[in-house]
Amino acid sequence: MKRAGQLALITDWQRAGIIDDSTAQTLQDKDPGRWWLNLLMGFAAWFAAVLIISATMGPWVLLVDNALGRSLYALILLSVAWQLLRNQGLFVEQLALALSLSGQGVLIFVWSSELPSVLDWSQSITAVGLPLALALFWLPGSYRHRQLCGLFALLYISMLLEAGPLLLLYAGLLAVLAVVGWSTRQQWARHTAACYLRPALDGVTLFAMALAVFAQQGVWYDLPQHAADVLWVQGYRLNIALLTVCVVVWIFRVDLGHWRWAAPMTVLVVVVLLFQAPGMLLASTLGLLAFHARSWLWSLLSPLIALVALAEWYYNLQLSLLHKSWLLMLAGIVLLACYWLWQHRGRAAQ
């Protein structure tokens, strides 16, 4: 985003009461710098982290070749990362992220192999990684570090649930949490807990969309053969469809004026046509919410994930290409017709 657009967005937040005057002044004075320079600094920080870890891990393992010694090395990495995260600067922050991820990886590798053999590899990794990620999430640190820790915690929970109905239930719950979080952003963004809620919302949003994309093809769920399995899959799709309808009606409840029926009717037709593509529906829904909440990052990422979901759904083998082509064409015609009617008649009725 260009600097002029950032300043305009900060002004809009200040007028809407999302941020106070002091926060607005701080954001206006902060210069994000050139994107290419930030990218080079990020690469330099990760390269420096690789050199540091390569130079220290080998001698340490040779001197102390046991679980406690390796754990001590991981704790040293985590403590150094925590100290660096309390400082400002892109280079320092990226260096701390690399050291933190390395420390977490070492601890998970060491202690997951020490757990009883009754646990499989996914359960062992979850038993070590989930408490560690949650503990690091609540420690004082940077925004990006909390994002990664929250995302890892969600990943560990999905590994614990494995394939089956519980994972579908988990995916549906994350979708609901993401919708509620974005729709109520203006309320919770003013509280001090926003420094924890926002990175958690980012992780929930990304993971909910990823699980929705996988749900289209059934990557974790083999082709349903039992009636109960079919009900779970259809229930998840129905959950995404209801969320889409509710979000569209909620956003356009005032903006449509005398044409309030247009949003419910249009979204109902689109949801019926794309009922078997929950990833595309959820990514579009969360993108619409993020745009309404003025999050430029997710306004760009959500359409990209929707395109990935579209490509995945179009080339899977559950429906014929001709069938899916007709569904997509009809959905596009409905949206274009609604847009044409709104441009030519809806605005005049306001």
What is the SS3 assignment for 164-225? CHHHHHHHHHHHHHHHHHHHCHHHHCCCCCHHHHHHHHHHHHHHHHHHHHHHHHCCCCCCCC
**Residue carrying structure tokens 């420096």:** 48
Question: Are 95 and 49 in contact, with CB atoms under 8 Å apart?
Answer: yes
pLDDT at 200 over 80: yes
Residue 173 clears pLDDT 70, i.e. is over it: yes
Question: Residue 325 has which token pair?
Answer: 């082509």
Most confident range, picked from 20-24, 84-88, 334-338 = 334-338
Q: Which 3 state secondary structure label does DSSP give 317?
A: coil
**What is the pLDDT at residue 159?**
87
Q: Which pLDDT value is given to residue 316?
A: 73
Q: How far apart are CA 265 and CA 36, in angstroms?
A: 45
Lowest mean pLDDT, pick from 49-53, 83-87, 202-206, 342-346: 342-346
| Cβ contacts of 320 within 8 Å, gap of 6 or more | none
Nearest to 281 by CA among 319, 238, 318: 238
What is the rounded average pLDDT of the residues 123-152?
Answer: 88
- List pLDDT tens digits, range 210-265: 999 888 765 444 444 555 667 888 889 999 999 999 998 888 776 555 566 777 88
Nearest to 298 by CA among 211, 190, 176, 208: 208
pLDDT at 182: 93
Q: Please report the pLDDT score of residue 220 as a whole number.
A: 45
Computed over every residue of the chain, the mean pLDDT equals: 81
**pTM check: above 0.85:** no
Residue 9 corresponds to which tokens in the numbers above?
A: 């967005």
Q: pLDDT, tens digit, for every residue of 326-336?
A: 888 898 888 88
- The token duo for 88 is 């400002």
